[in-house]
Amino acid sequence: MFTLGYGFYKYLVQKDEFCVLILGLDNAGKTTFLESAKTKFTKNYKSMHPSKITTTVGLNIGKIDVSGIRLNFWDLGGQLELQSLWDKYYAESHAIIYIVDSSDRGRIPESKETFDRMIASESLQGIPLLVLANKQDIPDCMGVRDVKPIFNKNAHLIGKRDCMVMPISALTGDGINEGICWLVDCIKRNVFIRPPRNNDDN
């Protein structure tokens, strides 16, 4: 009887799980974004102090529950030598967050080139894409009006998918809620193309 009751309980509380890749160049603010998202959506979560966040070598994993689903974030290292590993995760992902350091104008061409290589992958066709112009708290950073046309130049690579460019500050948390909520709506609409992964360990 316990087993039956427990099984029913698990069925009731089990959430559909979706995997979201957080990509971008090193030092774009990917890990700071993940920490900020966990702080905003996870009750009593104690975030890492920004001064303790170092360059990701490999993979950071985080999860949040929002709007009845679970998002599993995979924050991948952005150094050139690590970008070759990104495509190992594409087939399992349900959405992409691509983070741009809008305060570093000198690396925008490199970020755009990396973005184009990533978005051209057939494994990512049709999945939602959220481009975040990060570090909006820094004076004289590029705004969305500057960033959006640069990353839209090869619109044919983006194709027919939900796509949004939004301003954020991962450090202050501004724009995090709006970005996550937009992504959740897109992921839910896209379940016929990329159905959820259900985890028995919920």
pLDDT given at position 3? 60
Q: Give how far Cα 94 sits from Cα of 73, 118, 176, 189, Å.
A: 10, 14, 18, 11
Find out whether 44 is annotated in a ligand binding site. no
Give me the pLDDT at residue 130, please.
97
What percent of the chain has pLDDT above 70?
A: 85
- Residue 98, SS3 per DSSP: strand
User: Residue 136 annotated as binding?
Assistant: yes
Selecting among 14, 79, 83, 125, the annotated active-site residue is 79
How distant, in Å, are the alpha carbons of 16, 167, 170 from that of 187? 11, 20, 22
Residue 134 is assigned to a ligand binding site: yes
Look at 11 and 105; give whichever has higher pLDDT. 105
Cα(97)–Cα(178) distance, rounded to whole angstroms?
13
What is the pTM (predicted TM-score) of this model? 0.88
Report phi then psi at 22, rounded to 5: -110, 110
Entry field: residues in the chain = 202
- Domain 17-190 class, CATH top level: alpha beta
Q: Please tell me which residue, 42 or 54, carries the higher pLDDT value.
A: 42
Q: Are 128 and 95 in contact (CB under 8 A)?
A: yes
28 assigned ligand-binding residue:
yes
Retrieve residue 62's tokens: 């985080």
Q: Please name the residues in contact with 90: beta carbons below 8 A apart, sequence gap of 6 or more.
A: 21, 121, 123, 124
Please tell me whether 75 is known to bind a ligand.
no
Note the pLDDT tens digit of each residue in 52-94.
566 665 688 999 999 999 999 999 998 888 898 999 999 999 9
For residue 125, indicate whether it is catalytic: no
d(CA 87, CA 81): 13
| Single-letter amino acid, residue 90 | Y
Q: Which residue has the higher pLDDT, 128 or 156?
A: 128
- SS3 annotation, 8-25: HHHHHHCCEEEEEEEECC
The mean of the pLDDT values for the chain is: 88
Q: Is the pLDDT of residue 50 over 80?
A: no
CB-based contact 65:45 (threshold 8 Å): no
Question: Which pLDDT score is estimated for 200?
Answer: 45
Q: With beta carbons less than 8 A apart as the criterion, state whether 135 and 29 touch.
A: yes
Higher local confidence (pLDDT), 78 or 14: 78
Residue 175, annotated ligand binder?
no
Report domain extents, the chain.
Answer: 17-190
For residues 199 and 62, the model is more confident at 62
Residue 36 and residue 30: Cα distance in Å, rounded? 10
State CA 4 to chain mean position distance. 37
Q: Is 34 helix (H, G, I), strand (E, B) or coil?
A: helix
